[in-house]
Structure 1
């Protein structure tokens, strides 16, 4: 990584998962010559229920992941309701919305690695806004926290992009949980999402190509079905044996177009409901055009990189059982 210094004191955990090659141990990216210092986990249970809110302080049991506390919503509309998706965050650059992300614990956010291209060594440019339903009116109960450092997946290539397009963001200090700020679950290894499973994407991005979200920039939501890997791979086949869809990618959306992840933001979540809890199935990564025919949205599969996420971001919660039945509806 050009322009970055490394420290031999930290060991980078190899990536694992389908289609992900083992990466030799390397030194960890450091900020200003100082290696990141990881804390031990704070004893989060694997999906066990905790108090509804908490401070995020070490030793405190966190709230259960993937379960919003407020259940009111706008039925049938594109606008989401306040606190409907309490793990969705705005990653801001110089105070302006730049990418979305998903809160995993009191100190960690998952997003797309490409959001930090050219700025990996400049964490002071970025901050994370949590608990804001409307970016134009974030409200007094939102929280803004600085970024300590960003860890892209070790397989991710800044030149090639796409493959392993996931990064973990370490917050400068633990956030305080509330009904508007809660973590999302990681999928248990046994969770399988078959084709046509209805999931959801959200974001503050453009409502269509070149048309930004109007004030007050209310978080948008869209239901999207999972597209099987083989179908998506054929749609994005680039010839000469070059497939654009690697095994660590998920596709979701509508083959007829008209509705797609241009609604969302880079780095934002693809969320599926399994066993009554919302799981982070994917991270919004890329696509061709916006809502174009036979060009569904492409997401980095969190399951493919779950082992890496668990090792780095201690304290995340798993949820879901094999062959779970994800619900198609948003919280109600």
Structure 2
């Protein structure tokens, strides 16, 4: 930034401050979930799918040979952010297919000790959303983790990929760290902002107008196993799979365990195929369930759990972003919302709360 003052001015030094302290769980939002989570008993054999600037102006006034200089502070000016959910394309999920380069520019690889561990979705230049269970036993060890962005193939990320350390991970305050538990969602604060490009862009969150009825066609993407126990082979190309939304009542019946043993809570949604054969698997945890609404891709859910991989009558279960959007907005400043009637909630972006 270049600041020019007239000779009369003594322009005081300024210091921009950004908050880097982790959000207080007591104020970050305990979710209005106590009412809807209810009594929960985890089902058996569940598989978690994881292995401001200052504007200074000087005004010179001549009053009886006295020069007066004033300094005014203005609002911070930040570059307009690119629209969320809009790939700017260049031109294994079980049963999936190779994606194309820059097709899903918000999908990131969360790596633990240098190895792919979970997937996630970029919300702003400083924040990623993923599954809370990806940090089980390691929540207070951020140095073990890093985030790889803009990599289509993990085995050949290319010079335009970006690797950023994690400052901290903030799991939802009501998550119980049990497999298949509700509120399986975490927000990851990056050590520094990423640079946006055609390969690195944010995804939108659904606003209150978004409703996804059964059979809505959505997509999942990740670098997880292509079959149970079979890792994605080199060069580990990002896999994608089209999955329909499954009616919540149907899914609840499929995972019903008897009186008081319902596994599907109100903050979960299901997607996939009742016949099996195509599904998310180990290593896909935390990745996105993406649905396109009015030309923008929205993050409908986070890959959470399931019984096995691609088994009959055991579809994938996802943490609903509709249910947890208020909490995400309290923690992450500048996340972009979209809905059936267009843009909502767009504001300054890339600034942590």
Q: TM-score range by the shorter chain?
A: 0.7 to 0.9
The aligned residue for residue 11 of structure 1 is: 27
293, 296, 299: which one aligns with 1:280: 299
Partners of 2:82 and 2:272 lie apart in 1 by: 31
What CA RMSD, in Å, does the superposition of the two structures yield over aligned residues?
2.6
The aligned residue for residue 340 of structure 2 is: 321
Question: For structure 2, which runs of at least 5 residues remain unmatched after alignment?
Answer: 1-21, 39-51, 54-75, 343-353
Contact 1:205 1:212 in 2 (8 A): yes
210, 217, 238: which one aligns with 2:236: 217
1:150 aligns with 2:169: yes
Distance of aligned partners of 1:81 and 1:122 in 2 relative to their CA distance in 1, 3 Å threshold: same
Total equivalences in the alignment: 283
Instruction: Tell me the TM-score normalised to structure 2 length.
Output: 0.76
Q: String of CA shifts for 1:191-240, please: whole Å, max 9, x gaps.
A: 00000000000000000111110000000000000001000000000112
84, 100, 125: which one aligns with 2:103: 84
Partners of 1:168 and 1:58 lie apart in 2 by: 26
Distance of aligned partners of 1:7 and 1:249 in 2 relative to their CA distance in 1, 3 Å threshold: closer
Distance of aligned partners of 1:9 and 1:252 in 2 relative to their CA distance in 1, 3 Å threshold: closer
SS at match of 2:155: coil
1:252 aligns with 2:268: no
Q: String of CA shifts for 1:39-87, please: whole Å, max 9, x gaps.
A: 99xxxxxxxxxxxxxxxx9822211000000165xxx971000000000
Partners of 2:96 and 2:185 lie apart in 1 by: 30
Partners of 2:172 and 2:115 lie apart in 1 by: 25
Contact 2:180 2:263 in 1 (8 A): no
Matches within 5 A, 1:103-252: 103-159=122-178, 161-252=180-271
Contact 1:220 1:264 in 2 (8 A): no
Compare CA radii of gyration and give the structure with the larger one. Answer: 2
Distance of aligned partners of 1:203 and 1:7 in 2 relative to their CA distance in 1, 3 Å threshold: closer
Distance of aligned partners of 1:227 and 1:18 in 2 relative to their CA distance in 1, 3 Å threshold: farther
- Please report how far the alpha carbon of residue 11 of structure 1 lies from its aligned counterpart in structure 2 after TM superposition: 2.9
The aligned residue for residue 34 of structure 1 is: none
Partners of 1:282 and 1:114 lie apart in 2 by: 15
Instruction: Tell me the TM-score normalised to structure 1 length.
Output: 0.80
Distance of aligned partners of 1:252 and 1:264 in 2 relative to their CA distance in 1, 3 Å threshold: farther
Distance of aligned partners of 1:264 and 1:66 in 2 relative to their CA distance in 1, 3 Å threshold: farther
SS at match of 1:184: coil
Contact 1:204 1:263 in 2 (8 A): no
